[in-house]
């Protein structure tokens, strides 16, 4: 007489079904997160594209010819300038809060946005007259804000985009020549704000030269102004930053001629 068939396969089928449901749930959750991230990026792009449309006039080749900075300042007195690197996506208003947290996730309209604003170090004077001025921005994976600073680690890219421009409230542009790109620790002295005539500034220039990834450029002479752009690294190390540094080379009246 034959024995009754073993019922374990039914149990295994139940386990398989549970595992499938778990996998589907994990997939749907991951899809939800990805869609959320993509929607956040679209919101960021739309917001700053609209800002460029509303306040920026461009030439036929896409380069900036005029920025209505007075209109921005009228909206928010914390607007200190407009930063621009030609033929890149870097074209943003520059804010300054009472501390370095306020504009981390706020727009120039003081509304929440994951990408926040491009903003000045709170300890800087705000008029770009300090010997060392620092500007911060998020490293967005879609390239927004300062998400493309890592491109400047290739010296040939720097050679193609050698200047940073900052529009001031008086309508003139500060012109800075890029001379260094490297990864810095947040406590290694890179982000020091110096008082005028600080004797330690020469040591700071030596620090830059020791970190600089470029072979053909060096830090400026003691006493020359430096602009530092800083963003997080791709590996999300809370203690490291990608840094791009440029030296002040003069003031220009007409950005179209650059």
CA distance 67 to 82: 8
Determine the pLDDT at residue 44.
66
Q: What is the pTM of this model?
A: 0.83
- The residue assigned the tokens 């690197």 is 85
212 pLDDT exceeds 90? yes
Determine the pLDDT at residue 33.
46
Q: Which residues of 158-193 are buried (b: 16+ CB within 10 A; e: fewer)?
A: beebbbbbbbbeeeebbbbbbbbbbbbeeeeebbbb
11 pLDDT exceeds 90? no
Mean of all residue pLDDT scores within the chain:
86
Determine the pLDDT at residue 111.
92
Q: Which residues contact 216 (CB under 8 A, 6 or more apart)?
A: 155
In the chain, the domains with their CATH numbers are 47-257 (2.40.260.10)
3-state class (DSSP) for residue 72? helix
7 pLDDT exceeds 60? no
CA distance 10 to 25: 23
Question: Which pLDDT tens digit goes with each residue over 30-49?
Answer: 544 444 444 455 666 677 87
């Amino acid at each position: 007489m034959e024995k009754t068939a073993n019922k374990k396969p039914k149990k295994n089928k139940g386990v398989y079904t549970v595992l499938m449901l778990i996998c589907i749930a994990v997939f749907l959750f991951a899809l939800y997160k990805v869609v959320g991230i993509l929607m956040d990026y679209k919101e960021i792009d739309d917001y700053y594209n609209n800002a460029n449309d509303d306040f920026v006039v461009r030439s036929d080749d896409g380069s900036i010819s005029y920025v209505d900075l007075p209109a921005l300042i009228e909206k928010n007195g914390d607007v200190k300038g407009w930063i621009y690197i030609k033929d890149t996506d870097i074209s943003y208003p520059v804010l300054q809060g009472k501390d370095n947290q306020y504009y981390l996730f706020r727009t120039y309209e003081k509304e929440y946005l994951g990408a926040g604003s491009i903003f000045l170090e709170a300890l800087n004077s705000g008029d770009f007259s300090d010997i060392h001025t620092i500007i911060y921005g998020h490293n967005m994976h879609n390239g927004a804000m300062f998400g493309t600073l890592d491109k400047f680690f290739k010296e040939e890219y720097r050679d193609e985009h050698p200047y940073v421009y900052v529009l001031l409230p008086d309508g003139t542009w500060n012109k800075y020549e890029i001379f260094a790109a490297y990864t810095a620790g947040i406590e290694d002295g890179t982000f020091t704000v110096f008082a005028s005539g600080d004797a330690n500034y020469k040591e700071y220039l030596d620090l830059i030269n020791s970190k600089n990834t470029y072979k053909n450029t060096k830090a400026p002479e003691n006493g020359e102004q430096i602009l530092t752009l800083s963003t997080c690294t791709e590996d999300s190390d809370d203690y490291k930053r990608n840094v791009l540094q440029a030296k002040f080379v003069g003031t220009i009246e007409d950005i179209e001629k650059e």
